[in-house]
Amino acid sequence: MKHCYQLLLLFAALSGYAQNSKEYDLYVTDTVVNYTGKKVKAIAINGSIPAPTLHFTEGDTAVIRVHNKMHHETSIHWHGLLLPNEQDGVPYLTTAPIKGMSTHTYKFPIKQSGTYWYHSHTMLQEQIGMYGAFIIHKKQEPELPEYTMLLSDWTDANPHEIERSLHKANDWYAIKKGATQNYAEAIGKGHFLTKFTNEWKRMHAMDVSDVYYERFFVNGKQEDHAPQFKPGEKVRVRIINGSASTYFWLNYAGGKITVVASDGMDVQPVAVDRFIVGVSETYDVIVTIPDKDTAFELVATAEDRTGQASLWLGNGVKQLQQPLPKLKYFEGMKMMNDMMTVGGNMKDMGMNMSLQQMDMNTVMYPEITGKEKDKKTAGMAMEGHQHQETGNTDIVTLNYAMLKSPVKTNLPDGPVRTLHFELTGNMNRYVWTLNNKTISESDKVLIKKGENIRIVVTNNSMMRHPMHLHGHFFRILNGQGDYAPLKNVLDIMPMETDTIEFHASEEYGDWYFHCHILYHMMAGMGRIFTYENSPPNPQIPDPEMALKMVYNDDRRYYFSAEVGLESNGSDGEMRLENTRNFFDVEWRLGFNKNTGYETEAHFGRYLDKNQYLSVYTGFDFRYHNSLEREENLFGQASTQNQRAVACIGLIYQLPWLINADVRLDHEGKARLQFVRKDIPVTDRVRLWGSWNTDFEYSVGSRYILTKYWSLSAHYDSDMGMGGGIVLTY
Amino acid sequence: MKTLRNIAMAVAMAFVFTSCEAQIKNPKTETVKVYGNCEMCKKTIEKAANEKGIVKADWNVDTDMLTLTYDQTKTNTDAILKKVAYAGYDSETFRAPDEAYKNLPECCQYDRPAKVSAIAENHDSHKGHDMPAAETTQNSPLFNPVYTAYFSIKDALIKSDGKTASAKASELVKAIAAAPMDKMKTEQHTLWMKIQSSLKTDAGHIAETTDVKHQRDHFASLSENLYALAKTTTNDAPYYYQKCPMYDNGKGAHWLSKENTIKNPYYGSAMLSCGSTVETLK
């Protein structure tokens, strides 16, 4: 105890902070919520979602006891805070996981001020309620009315099920959002070629977000009210994006929004009409209540525009903000087509894109580029076509180049090391990587105290990523020279290259750098920075085992199945796959002797960066009673009637999403097969077909009823015509 | 046969009745004020409020009162009035977005309930919070009319507004002709003599067409010359020399602006924020 006291004294003397211990008790419990008329499991802290707002003053010592009243483990990470590594709250990496029915005490000095937040860093718990605001006031803060606006997304679906379907590229969420971008719609809008080219370049329907959310919230409500503010008053709103995977546009019905801080750090005030808040970013803004007897809407709209949540500032008749119109997906698709090579790389046409300045998505925003045209007249401006625009060019949108620190932020002198991170991914298999490696596939990045680390980040994937660094602030080199803004989250759009740099100012420990879209992080999109010669962490008694637990997150296998029950037999496939490997079993069972049965089992591995190419080995058993064909395309005797062979093969995804599968069995017979699945004809109708060099073929269609069930009909050269139902899991 | 027809009739009648009956369950009726003008407003308001089987709305042109009957388990008055407001109509609860109001046909633009500004009273406290205004700057008074016309052309091109660009270019032609050569410094004078004729040509071309594409071609070379001129003058507030890397198949093009924020005049709204500041002229 005495020792502890001395330490505190020492600290006080060093930093000149007055010691003021501020204590909180957080009780984490399983709970059931009902936001949409359906009862769903969630996690609450002190009985509420979001978790309670914690208030501190710079110089305090935070003592936070987390009581885990659940039977499974949890953790809490203090997002954006500068603290000793073992207090950072990443389970197994920096801090012991909080086991079920136990208490963990966090204690750390508060060395900064601003708007931060806290959330679980365990699996997908953040999605179901474990997030709260963490506000640190300056010691002498000017009195300004303020309000905290914590944004989040809610889905009734179990997040683990969401994660699984994302890996399966199930397009149910797109159906729910009306974003399947099917051929019928494409033809209707004069975009048949756009859609075809898009698939030619091996892209499925494009979207700006992956998950369908039933609700979006401000402080846990669709509409939050803050009537206490007076007309004419300036209000500081602390905006925190605590969602799992949703970017939000912020618009204010009462005029300009003045941005004064980001990620907790002050910036020189800049007035804008709107801005986007990346997942896990925070922004402090000042807005004015311009009229009497009126409440003004500060509205957060999901980037995919499937929903919004509002905060009403002031009291009286409610002044609505014009909602953001639907996205023009085909315009975006057209843009994508121009930007994407058939080889699957993004090219920026020499535009050196960076810092959110050139938002390619703008072509999809009707409020800026005008309403959707139904004919082909909507030629892209980039091609040099001229067309009459009805859009609005007066809207000022914030971008990173406009952020300027009020003080110089130059790093202390020290050796500079430059790292290059290319953000990579495969949308269809939901693989997200840095330099084509997941967290578990890469070594930790060793850094030395006193070093300056410069990171050049290039986004070669098709989605934007909010990259978050634990325990440090980085400068974004944005043309503001000495006054580059400090942040701990960098939103980087497709094709952009940004440079950030930070000073390795900590003493020791492992610090995460990862994409803050929850499902991307869990897929392995990140790196671990580790200080050389770190002492053993008392929180992690078995470091080897613990690291394995960290790595397990992105090594997991996902199960999927498609089982058809039709009048002519049963077709099906079951798959188990992770980042690189897959096991699958396929079968076709006829209902009579003539149609026979076939079954194939494979184990395979994806080889290239884009995961177009994979190799496999496996078995093939089949029996048919009556088949006449005797030779295949290669003049080899067909063994379709009876076969029991081992085989090796290679699958390559061709343009237009056709899988070419070439294999050789141990008897020396070869087969080449082409398969195209899930051609989106309308919102819910999918066509598919296959053909191989044994002259087997089949074509079929599917009408999607629910996430799991479809009606189906198909014709198979062996089994004939059939119809029935398909279970897609 | 006759019985069959009777049965069919009976079934049809029963169907009609049940569908009437089933129209709105758990009904609640409320009457609220919605501001509007005419029969056309009535249509729009009711269309916005109605929802089959859930909401039935009737708006009275004379009294401005909207009578709502709705299924109270599925919706509420506020939710309905919000939809009406999005269609452009104010109520006691919601004030429509200005944009929605402006989009109403002229005859429907009813007198809105007056807003009482709270800003006027403490105007001073509002100052200093907006972006620094660049309007008040004096950029070398000698060439002021030239640059004023130039910036107007630029702003018109940002909006892809060929007509305004053409009109402003005519002003530019006059401004160029009127530039007082006797007051120029030697260095400026030399430069002016060099660029004067191409300035005139470019401005003339922009003036004589409303084809934005053609205007932009000339705007590119116009900008190059004015940049050279701006370098010889000293300015109180900076001019930003900005670049669009994509223009003319990747050859790129420049322009001058009084704001650091990028608003690209070469592509209109689609590529509005494309570009970067390459030099700040002070």
3-state per-residue secondary structure call for chain B: CHHHHHHHHHHHHHHHHHHHHCCCCCEEEEEEEECCCCHHHHHHHHHHHCECCCEEEEECCCCCEEEEEEECCCCCHHHHHHHHHHCCCCECCEECCHHHHHCCCHHHCCCCCCCCECCHHHHHHHCCCCCCCCCCCCECHHHHHHHHHHHHHHHHHHCCCHHHHHHHHHHHHHHHHHCCHHHCCHHHHHHHHHHHHHHHHHHHHHHHCCCHHHHHHHHHHHHHHHHHHHHHCCECCCEEEEEECCHHHHCCEEEEECCCCCCCCCCHHHHCCCCEEEEEEC
Q: CA–CA separation, A528 vs A509, rounded Å? A: 10
Among B163, B272, B276, B278, most A C-beta atoms within 10 A, so best to mutate, is: B272
Cα separation of A218 and A255, whole Å? 20
Report the C-alpha gap between A98 and A107 in whole angstroms. 15
Do A349 and B250 count as a contact with CB atoms less than 8 A apart?
yes
B212: nearest CB among A293, A358, A386: A386
Residue of B nearest to A387 (CA): B160
> In 3D, which of A403, A402, A112 has the Cα closest to residue A267?
A403
Buried b (16+ CB within 10 A) or exposed e, A147-173: bbbbbbbbbbbebeebbbbbbbbbbbb
Nearest by CB to B250, which of A270, A350, A399? A350
Q: Is the pLDDT of residue A16 over 50?
A: no
Candidates A221, A372, A389: best to mutate against B (most CBs of B within 10 A) is A389
Question: How far away is chain B from the Cα of A396, in angstroms, using its nearest Cα?
Answer: 9
Q: Do residues A690 and A674 touch, judged by C-beta distance below 8 A?
A: yes
- Point out the residue among B86, B159, B272 whose CB comes nearest to the CB of A320: B86
Residues of chain B with pLDDT > 70: what percent? 83
Residue A397 near residue A272 (C-beta atoms within 8 A)? yes
Which of A317, A357, A401 minimises the CB distance to B94? A317
Angle at A382 between CA A376 and CA A385, to 5 degrees: 50
Is 70 exceeded by the pLDDT of residue A19? no
Residues in chain A: 729
The residue of B35, B273, B277, B278 whose CB has the most chain A CBs within 10 angstroms, and thus the best one to mutate to test that interface, is B273
Interface contact B245-A352, CB threshold 8 A: yes
CB contact under 8 Å between B92 and A392, yes or no, is: no
Whether residue A723 lies within 8 A of chain B, CB to CB, comes out as no
For residues A13-29, give the mean pLDDT. Answer: 75
The mean pLDDT of chain B is 81
pTM of the entire predicted model:
0.81
Nearest-Cα residue of chain B relative to residue A325: B86
Would an 8 Å CB–CB cutoff place A291 in contact with chain B?
yes
Q: Which candidate in A322, A365, A368 is best for mutational testing of the B interface (most B CBs within 10 A)? A: A322
A145 touching B (Cβ < 8 Å)? no
The reply to whether residue A386 touches residue B211, judged by beta carbons under 8 angstroms, is: yes
Measured between CB atoms, does A319 come within 8 Å of chain B? yes
The tens digit of pLDDT for each residue in A195-233 reads 888 888 888 877 778 889 999 999 999 999 999 999 999
Average pLDDT, integer, range A295-320: 94
Check CB contact under 8 Å for B118 and A368. Answer: no
Are A397 and B93 inside 8 Å of each other by CB?
no
Q: Determine the angle formed by the axes of helices B212-232 and B144-158, rounding to 10 degrees.
A: 140
- Cβ pair B158:A317 closer than 8 A: no
Which of A286, A313, A317 is most worth mutating to test chain B (most B CB atoms within 10 A of its CB)?
A: A317
For residue B193, the distance in angstroms to the closest alpha carbon of chain A comes to 33
Q: Please list every residue in chain B whose beta carbon sits closer than 8 Å to the beta carbon of residue A402.
A: 261
| pLDDT, position B194 | 86
* Closest chain A C-alpha to B88 CA, distance in angstroms: 10
- Cβ distance B269 to A234 less than 8 Å, yes or no, reads no
Closest CB from A294, A380, A392 relative to B115? A294
pLDDT-derived band of residue A8, with 50, 70 and 90 as boundaries? Answer: very low
* CB-CB under 8 Å, B274 with A269: no
User: C-alpha A423: how far from its chain's center?
Assistant: 13
Percent of chain A whose predicted confidence (pLDDT) is above 90: 63
- Average pLDDT on A172-182 reads 85
Whether A380 contacts chain B with CB within 8 A = yes
- Distance CA(A672)–CA(A633), nearest Å, equals 9
CA distance B230 to chain A (A): 22
- Mean pLDDT over the full length of chain A: 88
Q: A350: which chain B residues are within 8 Å (Cβ-Cβ)?
A: 245-246, 250
The DSSP 8-state label assigned to residue A304 in this structure reads: T
Q: Picking from A196-205, A241-250, A626-635, which range would have the lowest pLDDT averaged per residue?
A: A626-635
What local confidence, expressed as pLDDT, does residue A32 receive? 96
Mean pLDDT of A254-269: 95
Q: Which residues of B touch A358 (CB under 8 A)?
A: 271, 273-275
Of B125, B160, B261, nearest to A389 by CB-CB distance is: B160
More confident residue, B244 or A451: A451
Q: Is the confidence at residue A381, as pLDDT, over 80?
A: no
Q: What pLDDT, in 10s, does the model give residues A340-371? A: 776 667 666 556 677 777 666 777 887 777 76
- Provide the pLDDT confidence category of residue B190 given band limits of 50, 70 and 90: confident
For testing contact with chain B, the best of A225, A320, A496 (most B CBs within 10 A): A320
Chain B contacts of A388, Cβ < 8 Å? 160
Q: Do A402 and B261 touch (CB under 8 A)?
A: yes
Q: Please answer yes or no on whether A292 and B122 come within 8 Å at the CB atom.
A: no
Secondary structure in 3-state letters for A73-122: CECCEEECCCCCHHHCCCECCCECCECCCEEEEEEEECCCCEEEEEECCC
Interface test with B, best of A257, A386, A388 (most B CBs within 10 A): A386
Residues paired with residue A491 on neighbouring β-strands, in sequence order: A466
Question: What is Dmax (Cα atoms) for chain A?
Answer: 93
pLDDT band at A411 (very low <50, low <70, confident <90, very high): very high
- B275: which chain A residues are within 8 Å (Cβ-Cβ)? 357-358
CB–CB of B118 and A232 under 8 A? yes
Residue A566 has pLDDT above 90, yes or no: no
Is A15 a residue whose pLDDT tops 60?
Answer: no
Q: Place A276 in a pLDDT band, splitting at 50, 70 and 90.
A: very high
**Rounded CA separation B257/B226 (Å):** 11
pLDDT over 80 at B64, yes or no: yes
A289 neighbourhood in chain B, CB within 8 Å: 118
**Is residue B82 a contact partner of residue B94, using CB atoms and an 8 Å limit?**
yes
Least confident of A495-499, A705-709, B40-44, B113-117: B113-117
Q: What is the tens place of the pLDDT at every residue in A84-139?
A: 999 999 999 999 999 999 999 999 999 999 999 999 999 999 999 999 999 999 99
Give residue B17's pLDDT: 47
Mean pLDDT over residues A687-692, rounded?
Answer: 92
Q: Which of A716, A712, A692, A715 is nearest to A703 (CA)?
A: A712
Q: Is the reported ipTM for this assembly greater than 0.90?
A: no
Cβ-nearest to A290 among B117, B125, B131: B117
- Best mutation target, A258, A284, A319, A495, to test chain B (most B CBs within 10 A): A319
Q: If you compute the radius of gyration of chain B from its CA atoms, what whole number of angstroms results?
A: 31
How far apart (Å, rounded) are the C-alpha atoms in residues A472 and A157? Answer: 34
Query: Residue A378: is its pLDDT beyond 70?
Result: no
B116 with A293: Cβ contact below 8 A: yes
Q: Using an 8 Å Cβ cutoff, are B246 and A349 in contact?
A: yes
B199 Cα to chain A: minimum distance (Å): 24
Contacts of A313 in chain B (CB under 8 A): none
Q: How many CB pairs under 8 A join A and B?
A: 133
A556: distance to nearest CA of chain B, Å?
A: 41
Instruction: Find chain B residues with C-beta within 8 A of A234's C-beta.
Output: 125, 129
Residues of A in contact with B116 (CB under 8 A): 231, 291-293
Give the model confidence (pLDDT) of B106-146 as tens digits: 888 888 888 888 765 444 444 444 444 333 334 457 788 88
Closest-CA residue of chain A to B261: A402
Nearest to A602 by CA among A667, A665, A668, A689: A665
Q: Please tell me the predicted confidence (pLDDT) of residue A631.
A: 72
Highest mean pLDDT among A294-303, A718-727, B60-69: A294-303
> What pLDDT, on the 0 to 100 scale, is given for residue A392?
64
> What would the DSSP string read from start to end of A633-672?
TTSPBP--SEEEEEEEEEEEEEGGGEEEEEEEETTS-EEE
